Amino acid sequence: MVSIDPSVLAGIDLSQMPAHVACVMDGNGRWAQQRGLPRIEGHKMGEHALFEAVHGALELGIDWLTVYAFSTENWKRPPDEVKFLINFNDDILLRRQHELHELGVQMRFVGRRDWRVPKRLIRRMDEASALTRNNSRLVLTIAFNYGGRAEIVDACKSLMAQGIDPSKVDEKMLAKHLYDPQMPDVDLMIRTSGEFRTSNFLLWELAYSEMWFTDVLWPDFTREHMAQAIYDFQNRTRRYGGVHA
Ligand code: IPE
Ligand code: IPE
Ligand code: MG
């Protein structure tokens, strides 16, 4: 099995790992365009990079990895691309859920399950979650039809539907109404493709995360990039609004 280059690993303190790493898997379309290929060829190559990220997380001992697969805004794309992305996500789950299961990965999903998400894909997500629910090496959360604003709106709706007294609502309570109440705050957000924005990813959970950006396009992302991001993360000082001693 390929593993992280020892020279990259050497500088990393394995006892000080971020608990939760989140990736905006961006740049598939440009990767394809640079090669004169249709955009969907870039998405296809993104599957390899996703597994690089998973193996990187497993090797490094990260507990939570969350990846942005499809945003609430991605429905604006040409219908053929949207259709491809839906079928491709379904197909990856079908083809690779057993491999992830054998690796000890627990799969979870966040996002709005509205009429736009085909029932077949919802069933596939439920099947993958059920298959892997007792695994504990890594929690891999796939954000599909996910928007950070939509998540906060849905949490507010859930609070109101339960008739909770507004004076009782605090940050802790709202967090319990997010899509996955067990998901910890993100420690490190990685975005590929040279874009410096969140694009509506995990707005609540990103409040104090460290951000790591690279020009690398997602299909070229490897576990070494993950290790590099963690090395840089470990050399930052997080203050959470306080004063560093
Ligand atoms: C990210 O790659 C994948 C999804 C958004 C589904 P893009 O498709 O956004 O690639 P670029 O940004 O156009 O290169
Ligand atoms: C964010 O990338 C969404 C995903 C990676 C799924 P986009 O490519 O959609 O974001 P923008 O449009 O560049 O902000
Ligand atoms: Mg993009």
Does some domain include residue 244? Answer: no
Among candidate residues 55, 46, 56, the one with its CA nearest the CA of residue 12? 56
Does some domain include residue 44? Answer: yes
**CA of 37 relative to ligand 2 center, distance in Å:** 19
CB of 27 sitting under 6 A from ligand 1: yes
Q: Any idea what the CATH number is for the domain that residue 54 is in?
A: 3.40.1180.10
Domain that holds residue 33: 18-148+186-234
Token digits of residue 219: 């299909």
SS3 content of the chain, % helix, strand, coil (to 5): 45, 15, 40
CB of 200 sitting under 6 A from ligand 2: no
Does some domain include residue 9? Answer: no
Task: Give the amino acid at 144.
Answer: F
Residue 2's pLDDT is: 66
Phi, psi of 62, deg, nearest 5 = -80, 140
Contact (CB, 8 A) for 8 and 227 = yes
Residue 118's pLDDT is: 98
Whether 13 is catalytic: no
Whether 63 is catalytic: no
pTM of the model: 0.97
Does some domain include residue 180? Answer: no
Which atom, in ligand 1's list, is nearest to the CA of 85? 6
Does some domain include residue 194? Answer: yes
Does some domain include residue 156? Answer: no
CB of 218 sitting under 6 A from ligand 2: no
Phi-psi region of 145 (alpha: psi -120 to 50; beta: other; left: phi over 0): left
Q: Along the 245 residues of the chain, how does pLDDT read in single tens digits?
A: 568 888 888 899 999 999 999 999 999 999 999 999 999 999 999 999 999 999 999 999 999 999 999 999 999 999 999 999 999 999 999 999 999 999 999 999 999 999 999 999 999 999 999 999 999 999 999 999 999 999 999 999 999 999 999 999 999 999 999 999 999 999 999 999 999 999 999 999 999 999 999 999 999 999 999 999 999 999 999 999 999 76
Number of domains in the chain: 1
